Amino acid sequence: MNIGRLIIREILFRKLSFALGVLSVLAAVGCLVGALASLRNHDRRTEQIIAAKQAETQEKMELLADDYRRITLKLGFNVLILPKDQKLSDLYADDYASKYMPEEYATRLAKSRVATINHILPSLQQKVKWPETGRTILLMGVRGEVYMRGAGQKPMLEPVQAGKIVLGSELHQSLKLKVGDKTRLMGHEFTVAKLNDERGTKDDITAWINLAEAQAMLGKAGQINGILALDCTCADARLPLIRAEIEKILPDTQVIEFASQAIARAETRNRASAEAVATIEREKQGRARLRSEREAFAAVLVPLVVLGCAVWIGFLALANVRERRGEIGVLRALGVRARQILWLFLGRAMVMGVVGTCLGYASGQAAIAGAEFNAPLLAAVLVGAPLLAALASWVPALLAAQQDPADILRQESEWTQSSNFATSRNISAVPTAWCGRWRASHCGLAQVSLWRCRGRAAAARRRC
């Protein structure tokens, strides 16, 4: 026989009292574990939501960027690089540059890899008479894109193949030309490759042909009169820097920026980007606020529940001590030390704590859908809850250990004698086992029984 065995046997005997204690620990631990699991779930869900939001935003931004790219292409050019001696008044009056520069400039610019330019489109543009139709048109020779980042770069503008021609809307509509039709321009035969939609600009009277052919037709071999730099990642504050960069590489040039287009695009993009970031930030703040509310609620609820449970365990321990007064007295008379009595009750509380913790942890986890197993938390509550239960039982256990066995035995003896007296005179119809010794084996299964026994005992004593 040892204290542990005595504890187990007593627990098995007073199952209801023990179960009530376990229930108490279960409630406290379940509440704590549930609250923490809920907060963990919240954090995990927040991460998922934010990640999904970021991915969605990223996707939208990519689509937006693509849209901008296309819109920008349709709108015109972002930056136009012209020969230095080109008068802008002439350019605006004639709709094309009258000065020329080497085509090699485009290659040089591409090789220099100016960080703020993504696409380089050299062109040769001139207002000409289309003698075969009697029209004045803008003839533009293009060679497509001069790649800055190798052939894998997505082209902004497809080149026009030799022998092909792309026509603005006014031209192909008035001349009734269709894709695949043959037409002659300045004595050269071209096949219509593409018909542009109406843009409401000079593009509507523009004919695009291959750059080399345009150079040959205009007698400007190896010459261009503009380089279109598209898709600049520039904002207004950086434009002077871009200009300086380009002019450093191509000193014989000047840079015109189509400010309204570039800035509008940059601002729109930046605003969209900022809005996306703000949306994510708002989501984060909302989730953080919700978490903080839950945390605050848990911070009040959990200590209250733990305190309530501790008080309840203390009360149960006190009832247990009172119920086992006779047992304590006889054990002490047999020579059992006070500290052993102390451990008898503390051990019971700790067993209660361990069982309650296991059940409480399982309940807390089960109550929160998707809660993950948390070994450190389980270890912490497995240590903490039994200690707390022992602490709650400390005062009753101390009272038990400090009880005077002589007093107990004397009172028990007097109690027995008075009940025997009543029984011998047949005063009480209540069985002795109920009223004479209310802590006898028929009583004590539960607090309810104890009270009932006490009531009957009191009734018997009154009759005596």
Partner 1 sequence: MAVQGPSGSGKTTLLMAAGVLMQPDSGAVVIAGEEPYKLSSEQRAGFRAAHIGFVFQQFHLVHYLNVLDNVLTAALALPAADAKERAHELIKRFGLANRAGHVPSELSTGERQRVALARALLNRPKLLLADEPTGNLDEENGRLVLDCLAGFAKEGGAVLLVTHDPKAAQVSHRALRMENGRLAAS
Note the residues at the interface with partner 1 (CB under 8 A).
1-3, 5-6, 9-10, 12-14, 326-327, 329-340, 404-406, 409-410, 412-413, 416-417, 420, 437, 440-442, 444
Of the pair 105, 345, the CB lying nearest partner 1 is at 345
Q: For residue 370, how many other CB atoms are within 10 A of its CB?
A: 10
**Looking at beta carbons only, is 15 or 184 nearer to partner 1?**
15
Cα 338 from chain centroid (whole Å): 57
* Angstrom distances, CA of residue 57 to CA of 61, 62, 140, 277, 357: 6, 8, 39, 8, 44
- A 10 A CB-CB count for 37 gives 23
- Measured CA to CA, the distance from residue 360 to residue 28 in angstroms comes to 7
Least separation in angstroms between CB 25 and partner 1? 22
Nearer to partner 1 (CB atom), residue 6 or residue 27: 6
Residues 6+ apart with CB under 8 A from 266: 233, 234, 235, 236
Nearest approach in angstroms of CB 19 to partner 1 is 16
CB atoms within 10 A of CB 360: 27
Min separation Cβ 314 and partner 1, Å: 22
Nearer to partner 1, 213 or 323 (CB): 323
Please, what's the b/e burial string for 285-311 (b: 16 or more CB within 10 A of its CB; e: otherwise)? eebeeebeeeeeebeeebeebbeebbe
Considering the complex, what minimum distance in angstroms separates the CB of residue 441 from partner 1?
A: 4
**CB-nearer residue toward partner 1: 169 or 423:** 423
What is the amino acid identity at position 349? A
Q: Which is nearer to partner 1, 270 or 420 (CB)?
A: 420
Take residue 434 and report the two structure tokens written for it. 């109920």
Least Å distance, CB 15 to partner 1, is: 11
Question: Which CB sits closer to partner 1, 125 or 447?
Answer: 447
d(CA 330, CA 323): 13
Count Cβ atoms below 10 Å from residue 401 Cβ, excluding itself: 21
Minimum distance, C-beta of residue 335 to partner 1, in the bound complex (Å) = 3
- Minimum distance, C-beta of residue 308 to partner 1, in the bound complex (Å): 29
For partner 1, the closer of residues 330 and 378 by Cβ is 330
Nearer to partner 1, 260 or 441 (CB): 441
Nearest approach in angstroms of CB 324 to partner 1 is 9
Q: Where are the beta strands (DSSP E) in 182-295?
A: 182-185, 188-195, 206-210, 223-224, 226-230, 253-257
* Closest approach of partner 1 to the CB of residue 37, in Å: 38
Smallest distance from partner 1 to CB 407, Å: 9
Q: What are phi and psi of 186, to 5 degrees?
A: 50, 40
Other beta carbons within 10 angstroms of residue 349's beta carbon come to: 28
Beta carbon nearer to partner 1, 135 or 442: 442
Q: What angle do CA 297, 303, 304 make, to 5 degrees?
A: 85
C-alpha torsion angle, residues 318, 323, 328, 331 (rounded to 10): -140
Q: What is the DSSP letter of 202?
A: G
